[in-house]
A and B are shown apart, each in its own frame.
Chain A
Amino acid sequence: MEQMLADAAERIFRDQCTKPALDAAESGQFPARLWQLLCENGFQLMALPDSGAELADLFAVLRVAGRFAAPLPLAEALLANRWLGGEGGDRTADALNTVALVAQDGNPQWLDAPWGRAARRIVGVADDGAVFAGKPVAVREAFNLAGEPRDQVEVRDVRPLPCAEPPLALLALARVAQSAGALERVLELGIGYAQEREQFGRPIARFQAVQHMLAMVAAEVAAAGRASDAAVAAIGSDRFALEVAAAKSRVGEAVGLVAEAVHQVHGAMGFTHEHQLHHFTRRLWAWRDECGSEAHWQALLGRRLCALGADQVWDFLATSS
């Protein structure tokens, strides 16, 4: 199931997430055709409890989305639909719902809503994990450093939604999976460029300094991928939030190293707007801070370990596979 969905998503993203499409989305134009195709294939419903897909499948699809820098709020749309549950109307194909952060309980100014401007309904998540539904009435447009819309939205008709799962950890895991995918793509771009760019009469891949940068990158990318898989595998377990914490931390650390090195390998070409590299590196930089930075999740994991005590730390680490 997971592989089938990921393959289907990949076909759509490969076609649709072209450089012009990424540029258009960054100028604020919603990728309606992409969303329509995803809806025609039923992706908007895949996180609903009765969809037949596992929640893990969602994260497999998000990893593919990350590989293509898919310029739409897929995680938020699908999780919003999940948390809105069977509440009618939301199953219609073209309705985009999204998720925003609620600074305080019931506050009508919701923050950082991915594509809030295009959303029909908004699910708000508070710091303590409380979940609300709201109807957007006014939007102040804003972008993250990757040019992805992160809007401030004024909402009405706010009411609590029952949610039996940890919404913040799921949102963080979405960024983890997207980042794992984008990191793989950045490694591919680095290897491809090193093999094709020639200086001093040979491909720069022949220079040991370049080889070593990319070897380090490959190691970081592999670690990020493994950390992401582990957190996905922990969905539903009582360690879920802690595994997400570890993954968000590990992936965030990989991002800094990988983005720096692969830009170095690309020379000035990778610094141009025309080159596609920045669509991935800017997203990686943005995503490591979204849904809780490394420090946030590290402290959460660290507090738990400190509460267990020094002589229990190993047992915690060894109780995971």
Chain B
Amino acid sequence: MPMLQFDPVQLPKAAEALRHEVRDFLATNSDRISAPNSDFSSGHDADFSARLGERGWIGMTWPKAYGGAERSFFERYVVTEELLAAGAPVSAHWIADRQSGPLLLSAGSEEQRARYLPAIIRGASFFSIGMSEPGTGSDLASVRTVAKPVAGGWRVSGTKLWTTDAHRNHYMIALVRTAPADGNRHGGLSQLIIDLAAPGVTIRPIRNMAGGEDFNEVVFDDVFVADADVVGEPGNGWSQVTSELGYERSGPERFLSAFRVYVEFVRLVGADPERSEAAAVGRIAAHLMTLRRMSMSVAGMLENGKTPNVEAALVKELGNNFEKLLPEIARAAAPLSRSGDGGAQARFRQTYAETLLLSPSFTLRGGTREILRGVIARGLGLR
């Protein structure tokens, strides 16, 4: 049986030095974090992203030729985990930094890199993921948005759904059908860069159960996309999409979404907790310490050029379940009230409520728990 291996990783010294720079930055910019939320897709703040870009903390592993810093995966890891733990508003640049940029680096053309990467790195250009559709969720290969070849490019028609921040971002990288399936449903799919301000694009925000308007329906009505904006070869979309998964699934955003609830819980129980309160604090810490190490192990595999898709799915599965468990542990152990807590009870309740209302999405976005379990089962040789 293939045993899944999560080797220890020692963060390089440079990464630890960087950690302190990020903390100093967060302290100076605390005015932008008045309502901390560790969920990576809560908090779209273009100005904050631009400040991060100024510091060189977006696209920081990318080549200097495009404005990147050629820093290691571990340094990026430290920056992202510090931002999430502090509850900073990172959603504007998040997808471009995590996914779109790396995709262009691995599959894009030289022209695309030169055109898009410098602005992403400055924190001035934001991307969305266009995978899901009304009829397409887990079964991604079933996408029905089509692109028809025309002179100099393509005409796109169809509907993308649940597109996070499409109404605030500049571009979408959409998975569309450019040729009929013809027996191989993974064939004929392509990834296109679509300008969300282009004629024929209609974006309608969809209110979520927490009251936010973050994801959208995006309708394409004969939208023109130039040949130059096809990522990789037409028809190669499926293998490109699946190779993004290691990056998408194993980062600290897959187990830190509920972290601020923990911080407020610790504040609430105070320096001298009851035994059951202390046990809840320790239980959550034990999960976090382990998940962080597993997630860093995957970062180590990525740094070494591996494609740890099964390991990444496993970290996401554990991490997402834990993100849902954390508020449950905290609420069950939370004291009713404590006199003179300086508002700690109110802060805890508010953070808890905000996170609980987001929590159903934790095991859906980026691949549902059931799909991830299928990936792990395949890795175990069960299917």
**A and B physically associate:** yes
Could you list which residues of chain A lie within 8 angstroms of chain B, going by C-beta atoms?
Answer: 184, 187-188, 191-192, 194-195, 205-206, 208, 210-212, 214-216, 218-220, 222-223, 225-227, 229-230, 233, 243, 245-247, 249-250, 253, 294-295, 297-303, 305-307, 309-311, 313-314, 316-318, 320-321
Instruction: Produce 1/0 per residue, B35-77, CB < 8 A to A.
Output: 0000000000000000000000000000000000000000000
Determine which of A226, A297, A320 lies in contact with B6 in the assembled complex, contact meaning CB atoms within 8 Å.
A226
Known: A306-B272, A309-B267. 8 other contacts (CB 8 A): A195-B382, A218-B379, A227-B293, A229-B8, A298-B278, A299-B282, A306-B281, A318-B85
Tell whether B248 is near chain A: CB-to-CB under 8 Å.
no
- Give complex CA distance A48, B278 in Å: 36
Tell whether B334 is near chain A: CB-to-CB under 8 Å.
no
Contacts of A222 in B (CB 8 A): 4, 6, 294, 314, 318
Contacts of A225 in B (CB 8 A): 6
- Give complex CA distance A127, B3 in Å: 38
- The answer to whether A305 touches B281 (Cβ under 8 A) is yes
Q: How far is the CB of B30 from chain A (nearest CB, A)?
A: 12
- Give complex CA distance A321, B7 in Å: 11
- The answer to whether A250 touches B286 (Cβ under 8 A) is yes
- The answer to whether A214 touches B382 (Cβ under 8 A) is yes
Known: A230-B290, A247-B286. A302 touches B10 (CB 8 A): no
Chain A to chain B contacts (Cβ below 8 Å), 24 pairs: A191-B1, A206-B383, A215-B376, A218-B4, A219-B318, A219-B376, A222-B314, A222-B318, A226-B6, A226-B290, A227-B290, A230-B289, A247-B286, A298-B281, A298-B283, A299-B278, A300-B278, A305-B285, A306-B272, A309-B267, A310-B263, A311-B263, A314-B85, A317-B292
- Give complex CA distance A195, B380 in Å: 11
- The answer to whether B382 touches A302 (Cβ under 8 A) is no
- Give complex CA distance A192, B380 in Å: 10
Tell whether B197 is near chain A: CB-to-CB under 8 Å.
no
Tell whether B145 is near chain A: CB-to-CB under 8 Å.
no
Residue of A nearest to B377 (CB): A211
Known: A214-B382, A320-B293, A321-B296. A306 touches B275 (CB 8 A): no
- The answer to whether A184 touches B285 (Cβ under 8 A) is no
Among A191, A245, A318, the one with the most B-chain Cβ atoms within 10 Å of its Cβ is A318
Determine which of B3, B11, B262, B293 lies in contact with A313 in the assembled complex, contact meaning CB atoms within 8 Å.
B262
- The answer to whether B285 touches A310 (Cβ under 8 A) is no
CB-CB nearest 3 A-B residue pairs? A302-B282, A298-B282, A302-B281
Q: How far is the CB of A7 from chain B (nearest CB, A)?
A: 16
- Give complex CA distance A249, B10 in Å: 23
- The answer to whether A214 touches B377 (Cβ under 8 A) is yes
Contacts of A316 in B (CB 8 A): 285
Q: How far is the CB of A240 from chain B (nearest CB, A)?
A: 14
Contacts of A245 in B (CB 8 A): 282, 286
Interface residues of B in 1-24 (CB under 8 A from A): 1, 3-4, 6, 8-11, 19
Known: A249-B283, A301-B286, A305-B285. A223 touches B380 (CB 8 A): no
Residue of B nearest to A208 (CB): B374
Among A212, A230, A298, the one with the most B-chain Cβ atoms within 10 Å of its Cβ is A298
Tell whether B277 is near chain A: CB-to-CB under 8 Å.
yes
Q: How far is the CB of B218 from chain A (nearest CB, A)?
A: 32
Determine which of B8, B279, B370, B383 lies in contact with A295 in the assembled complex, contact meaning CB atoms within 8 Å.
B279
